[in-house]
A and B are shown apart, each in its own frame.
Chain A
Amino acid sequence: MKFALYGAVAMATAMTAFAPAVAAAQELVLSIGSRGYGGMVERNIEAFEAANPDTSVEWLKVSDVPGDSRKLYVTGLTAKSPTPDVFAIDVIWAGEFAQRGWLEPLNDYLGEETIAAYNPSFLSAATVEDKVFAAPLYVDGTHLFYRSDLLEKYGIAVPKTWEEVISASKIVMEGEGNPQLYGFVSMWAKIEGLFMNWLSFINGNGASFFDADGNVAVNSPEAIAATQTMVDMLYEDRIVPDSILTMRPDDARTLFQQGRAVFLMVQDFVHAPLSAEDSPVAGKFDFTRNPYFEGHEDAHSTAMGGWLLAVNANSEHKEEAAKLVEYFTSYAAQLAAAIDENRAPGRTDVYAAPEMTEAALIQKFGEDYAVGVVRPSAITGSLYPRVSEVMQTEVTNALHRQKTVEEALNDAAAEVNSILGK
């Protein structure tokens, strides 16, 4: 009966996708996005093969669109395919995959010292019942990008709090008198990124998804106040365009790049296009950690995303697979990825490397990640996609003023509790 679940199409897809791997069972199959980790993949594979002559690694290139590669993995893992042996997973999948028994715990392979070197916030997303199920490859979280030239022009210091962001936006918008210029843009479309965004806001006000006792706390007074600020930025302060409600990361990036926004809050991958030679804002912008609310200086408010490497629980070469994970996430490999590919390391000790003093950009990313917050994916496990969907829907309801913030978050709390069976 279990077979019934996969369906003919799913099986066919899985078999096509994994067929080459099955044919050559002697080698490891590593599955990772074709662009995501840049030139590091091939370099690392070559070096790994040189150091381990009896193991060869085949690179199965998968889509860089997380939803697409997730579908591919899920199909294969459901069918208990032994390949890919090692695969790159989005930070929010780790809890779910681990709970479904698809990942091999790495504690025995990696050793305590290595595990202690990982960014603790980031690692918590890959830790289920005290076992580590994946190793951080790189971090890609959100930051507050700002137009340094405009702030300078109006004599405004780089804002640290949301209150300062709002007042700075108003000063610049008024001063410039350009109806095409907005204060703040970000990804507030009903996507995963909205949930990240919202977590930044509420954590910046001292709230969090679960309270200290593990209860759902999405409708705490602090969370409601922070969410209300989002709504007010849109309708009261009017520093945010209506179109933010359909913006994905790249839409927001485009607007900022066209010089039409003072602030932008998205993931660090936008730094490269924004600073490209033909970018109108090149040299006119900088970034800082995500803001917090007044009185919450210690708040962890930088929403962290990024990728991990995990070992397939059905792999026939777990030992070698774990070795490959260790190699890819090693100090040397992460240092090289930081210097050459601008990938923010998932190991905190890499930032202290002497070579890194030159890599000012990555250093700065790293400072922000020290105050990072991850999504509650490790705790919610296989229910995470539904929890995230509820939060996206209810926050959207509030942003569209379909419900008051309080109603929306109360409904969200009730729904999340019912999903989690509380």
Chain B
Amino acid sequence: MSRTMSLERRTALTGIGFVTPTILIIALILIYPIIQSVVLSFGQSSIDGSQPYQFVGLKHYAALMGDGRFWNALGVTFTFTALSIPLELGLGIGLALLMNESFKGKGLARLAVLFPWALPTALNTLIWRWMYNSDYGLFNGIALQSGLVDRPINFLGDEILAMGSMVVVAVWKTSSFMALIILAGLQSIPRDLFEAGRMDGMSKWQEFTQITLPLLKGPILVALIIRSMDALRTFELPFNLTDGGPVNATESLSLYAYKVIFDFLDFNFGAAVVVVQFLVIFAMSLIYVFALQNKD
């Protein structure tokens, strides 16, 4: 008896030994900054050291509530997420179904689909910024020469067009990521389910809605959560495409936090923005998990 205990204990200790460094590293690089951000957001201090940390409670959160620019950034972030995620999901499912079929040049097609995802966002965005340019950009060149418009369209200079332009870049880039996750799910569906369906006289559409989609729920959930989290903290895209403009029509929460922290050097207020953003993302993920699980 005592021998088994000691073996179990030894196994447990070895296990703990293996896990400890990982936990320590995670604590250091992940948990510590989160706690620090929360601590910072409840206090007032000055980065040059002239003013020591002082607890001020909810002062920065109260200021946030009355800060029009914060609400604007929150609205921009939600709008961007609400517009881009459904488009990405629809396109992602379509692409995945296409890539799941066998046809000539399938490898090449997969490569082409993955290409936008493989390029760094910053680079993507720069390319798009040129294409959108109203004086020497590709789209205006085509539109003007074909006589579709007689004045250049100011894609990034108009509030609504700028948001639309940003969504297009996001959908173009990340639909393939959705497709990839969904394709993996598709390939794990046993072939014989479809054969059985065919024997029962199911149409292609019935096959899709009654077999494919229900079995894809897991991968779709994963893709949705990952992409929504990305969209809710989107930074490089507006930073490089519009710098939050025109006026603040494309200023996301991350971009606002970045400006508060690195341009205004107001770490405390910036921390409050980041904490709120963290809570929003957390809540969003919970909603997804519950919404998709309850239907089982």
Interface positions of A (Cβ within 8 A of B): 1-2, 4-5, 7-9, 67, 71, 74, 77-78, 80, 100-102, 189-191, 241-243, 245-246, 251, 254-255, 258, 260, 382, 385-386, 389, 393, 396-397, 400, 402
- Bound-complex Cα distance A288 to B53 (A): 51
User: A71's contact among B33, B134, B136, B262, by CB below 8 Å, is which?
Assistant: B262
Inter-chain contacts of B265 with A (CB < 8 A): 74, 382, 385
Interface residues of B in 237-268 (CB under 8 A from A): 242-248, 259, 262-265, 267
Min CB distance, B9 to chain A, in Å? 35
Q: Which of B136, B245, B264 is within 8 Å of A396, CB to CB?
A: B245
Q: Which residues of A contact B43 (CB under 8 A)?
A: 1
Q: Which one, A78, A101, A254, A385, contacts B136 given CB within 8 A?
A: A254
CB neighbours (8 Å) of B156 from chain A are 246
Task: Identify 17 residue pairs between A and B in the complex whose beta-carbon atoms are under 8 Å apart, listed by A's number.
Answer: A67-B263, A77-B48, A80-B49, A241-B152, A242-B134, A242-B154, A243-B135, A245-B154, A246-B134, A246-B154, A246-B156, A246-B245, A254-B135, A382-B265, A386-B264, A396-B247, A402-B247
5 additional A-B pairs beyond A5-B47, A245-B154, beta carbons within 8 Å, are: A1-B43, A5-B45, A5-B267, A102-B48, A243-B134
Is B48 within 8 A of A100, CB to CB? yes
Residue of B nearest to A97 (CB): B48
What interface size band does chain B fall in? 35 or more
Write out the residue numbers on chain B whose beta carbons fall within 8 Å of the beta carbon of A389: 259, 263-264
Q: For the complex, is B142 an interface residue (Cβ under 8 Å from A)?
A: no
Alpha-carbon gap, A363 to B3, bound state (A)? 93
Main secondary structure on chain B at its contact with chain A?
loop
B246 adjacent to A241 (CB under 8 Å): no
Contacts of A67 in B (CB 8 A): 263
Q: How far is the CA of A339 from the CA of B92 in the complex (A)?
A: 60
Interface mask (B38-60 → A, CB under 8 Å = 1, otherwise 0)? 01100101011110110000000
- Please measure, in the bound complex, the distance between the C-alpha atom of A43 and the C-alpha atom of B32, giving whole angstroms: 47
Residues of B with C-beta under 8 A to A190? 243-247
Q: B48 is contacted by which of A7, A101, A243, A402 (Cβ under 8 Å)?
A: A101
Residue of B nearest to A78 (CB): B47
Asked if B277 lies at the interface with its beta carbon under 8 angstroms from chain A, I say: no
Proximity string of chain B (142-162) to chain A, C-beta cutoff 8 Å, 1 when within and 0 when not: 000000000110101101000
> Which among B28, B52, B245 has the highest number of chain A CB atoms within 10 Å?
B245
B29: Cβ under 8 A from any A Cβ: yes
Chain B positions within 8 Å of A77 at CB level:
48
Q: Which of A8, A189, A246 contacts B32 (CB 8 A)?
A: A8
B212 within 8 A of A: no
Query: What's the minimum C-beta distance from B111 to chain A, rounded to whole angstroms?
Result: 34
Contact yes or no, B36 A4, CB < 8 A: yes
CB neighbours of B159 from chain A (8 A) = 400
Q: Ordered nearest first, which 7 A-B pairs have the shortest CB separation?
A: A100-B48, A1-B53, A243-B134, A245-B157, A246-B157, A242-B154, A190-B245
Residues of B within 8 A of A258 (CB): 136
Q: Please give, as numbers and ranges, the residues of chain B lying within 8 Å of A191 by CB-CB distance.
A: 243
A interface majority secondary structure: helix
**Shortest beta-carbon distance, B288 to chain A, in Å?**
29
Q: Are B52 and A2 in contact (CB under 8 A)?
A: yes
Task: Give the number of A-B contacts (CB < 8 Å).
Answer: 98
Contact B47–A4 (Cβ < 8 Å): no
| Complex interface bits, B161-199 against A, C-beta within 8 A gives 1, otherwise 0 | 000000000000000000000000000000000000000
A56 CA to B245 CA, complexed, in Å: 46
| CB <8 Å contact, A400 and B247 | yes
CB neighbours of A242 from chain B (8 A): 134, 151-152, 154, 157
**Interface status of B133 (Cβ within 8 A of chain A):** yes
**Distance of B30 from chain A, by nearest CB (Å):** 10
CA distance A9 to B261 in the complex (A): 14
Given known pairs A5-B47, A243-B152, A382-B265, the reply for A400 and B246 (CB within 8 Å) is yes
**B264/A8 in contact, CB under 8 A:** no
Contact of B33 with A245 in the complex, beta carbons under 8 Å: no
Q: Is the CB of A2 within 8 A of B157?
A: no
The distance from the CB of A411 to the nearest CB of chain B, in whole angstroms, is 11
Q: Using Cβ atoms and an 8 Å threshold, which residues of chain B touch A386?
A: 264
For the complex, what is the distance from the CA of A9 to the CA of B136, rounded to whole Å? Answer: 40
Distance A241 CA – B153 CA, assembled complex (angstroms): 11
Give the contacts of B279-294 with A (CB-CB under 8 A).
Answer: none
CA A189 to CA B129, docked complex, whole Å: 14
Contacts of A100 in B (CB 8 A): 47-48, 50
Q: How far is the CA of A177 from the CA of B50 in the complex (A)?
A: 61
Tell me the minimal C-beta distance from B16 to chain A in angstroms. Answer: 25
Indicate the member of A74, A190, A251 with the most B CB atoms within 10 Å: A190
Q: Which residue of B lies closest to A241 (CB)?
A: B135
Q: Which residues of B contact A400 (CB under 8 A)?
A: 159, 246-247
Q: A397 to B135, Cβ gap below 8 A?
A: no
Q: Does B152 lie within 8 Å of A4, measured CB to CB?
A: no
Give the shortest distance, in Å, between B56 (CB) and chain A (any CB): 13
When chains A and B are docked, how far (Å) is the Cα of A5 from the Cα of B133? 40
- Measured between C-beta atoms, what is the minimum distance from B66 to chain A in Å? 12
Min distance, Cβ B104 to any Cβ of chain A, angstroms: 44
Given A4, A71, A102, A393, which contacts B247 in the complex, CB threshold below 8 Å?
Answer: A393
Measured between alpha carbons, how far is A8 from B36 in the docked complex, in Å? Answer: 10
Q: Shortest Cβ distance from A103 into chain B, in angstroms?
A: 11
Residues of A within 8 A of B40 (CB): 4-5
A7 vs B261: C-alpha distance when bound (angstroms) = 12
Q: Distance (Å) between the CB of A20 and the closest chain B CB?
A: 24
A residues less than 8 Å from B53 (CB atoms): 1-2, 4
| Cα A254 to Cα B157 with chains together (Å) | 18
**Smallest CB separation, A11 vs chain B (Å):** 12
